[in-house]
């Protein structure tokens, strides 16, 4: 005969992000199923951020498509017209410069006027070179590197959107298991964080009695041994179970354990797993274990 207390597994649930709690949907004692919604955080800032990111993606998609399509015929013709205008300016500047050169030779104009004519010609030549290069580039279209850069920016925006949508999903606290709510630790309006549990949920399908046995009697038990668990509330209705775990490390007897041996003696922890079909066992309940 061993003496111990009922123990159960429990899950401590917390949000993955820090935000103010909007809703708490279950109370202590409520039974929950896996994936049931338990609580939510305020999500308006994330929703607005997602809308902004979606707009940025649409804009960048248009940029990528424009680069892939290349120059429009109208843009090429516009570049050609600017090039023809630059050619006309160049020819006019050349003629003007030649006239000024003749006049300068005959001392009809000053050196300043000759320098102005030369500067005008150089500017026209530079404008013509620029117009020709612009026309050439418009015919070729965007560089492959520019398209790759735009596509990389689009990829980054999409990845950022996925992250924001994931963060939005984390504003909902879902139950990972079937169980019973043991504790409701926060309320709407509280600031949640990953370090602050919101609920404690007890796992009902696994219950055991944590008992202790002295070293002298350790050889009398083994894993799988049948056992009966008796509680004070139902002394005539033993619950069937079996030994499932025997510690391989000795420890001093906990103060909560009552045995015939002295409290200073060394004992080993034993877990007797039970089938509590009627759900009568509660966390911490004293129990007597009879090994069969």
Number of H helices, E strands in the chain: 4, 13
Tokens matching residue 41: 């955080």
Tokens matching residue 145: 């590197």
The secondary structure of 139-190 as a DSSP string is HH-S-HHHHHHHHHHHHHHHHHHHHHHHHHHTTEEE-SSSEEEEEE---TTS
Helix/strand/coil for 116: helix
Which parts of the chain fold into alpha helices (H)?
A: 44-69, 73-105, 111-140, 144-169
The CA distance from 11 to 7, in Å, is 13
Task: Yes or no: say if 212 and 270 are a contact pair by the CB < 8 Å rule.
Answer: yes
pTM above 0.75, yes or no: no
Q: Collect all residues with Cβ–Cβ distance below 8 Å to 52 and sequence separation of at least 6.
A: none
Residue corresponding to tokens 């103010």: 20
Helix/strand/coil for 28: coil
pLDDT in tens, the chain (292 residues): 888 999 888 899 999 989 999 999 999 989 999 999 999 999 999 999 999 999 999 999 998 888 777 666 777 778 888 888 988 998 998 998 888 888 888 888 888 888 888 999 899 999 988 888 887 777 666 777 888 889 999 999 999 999 999 999 999 999 999 888 989 999 999 999 999 999 999 887 778 899 988 888 888 899 999 999 999 888 888 999 999 888 888 777 665 555 555 444 678 899 999 988 888 888 888 999 999 8
């Amino acid at each position: 005969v061993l003496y111990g207390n009922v123990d159960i597994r429990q899950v401590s649930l917390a949000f993955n992000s820090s935000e103010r709690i909007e809703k708490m949907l279950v109370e202590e004692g409520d039974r929950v199923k896996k994936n049931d919604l338990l609580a939510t955080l305020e999500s308006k800032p994330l929703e607005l951020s997602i809308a902004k990111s979606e707009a940025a993606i649409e804009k960048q998609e248009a940029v990528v498509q424009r680069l892939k399509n290349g120059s429009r015929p109208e843009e090429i013709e516009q570049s050609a017209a600017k090039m023809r205008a630059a050619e006309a300016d160049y020819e006019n500047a050349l003629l003007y410069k030649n006239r000024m050169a003749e006049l300068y030779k005959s001392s009809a104009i000053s050196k300043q006027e000759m320098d102005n004519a030369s500067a005008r010609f150089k500017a026209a030549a530079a404008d013509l070179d620029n117009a020709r290069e612009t026309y050439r580039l418009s015919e070729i279209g965007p560089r492959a590197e520019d398209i790759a850069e735009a596509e990389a920016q689009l990829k980054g925006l999409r990845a950022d959107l996925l992250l924001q949508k994931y963060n939005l999903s984390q504003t909902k606290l879902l139950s990972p298991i079937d169980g019973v709510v043991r504790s409701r630790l926060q309320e709407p309006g509280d600031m949640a964080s990953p370090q602050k549990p919101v609920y404690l949920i007890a796992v009902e399908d696994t219950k055991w009695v944590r008992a202790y046995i002295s070293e002298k009697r350790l050889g009398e038990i083994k894993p799988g041994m049948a056992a009966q668990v008796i509680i004070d509330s139902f002394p005539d209705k033993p619950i069937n179970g079996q030994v499932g775990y025997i510690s391989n490390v000795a420890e001093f007897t906990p103060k909560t354990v009552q045995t015939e041996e002295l409290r200073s003696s060394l004992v080993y922890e034993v877990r007797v797993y039970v089938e509590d079909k009627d759900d009568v066992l509660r966390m911490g309940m004293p129990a007597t274990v009879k090994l069969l």
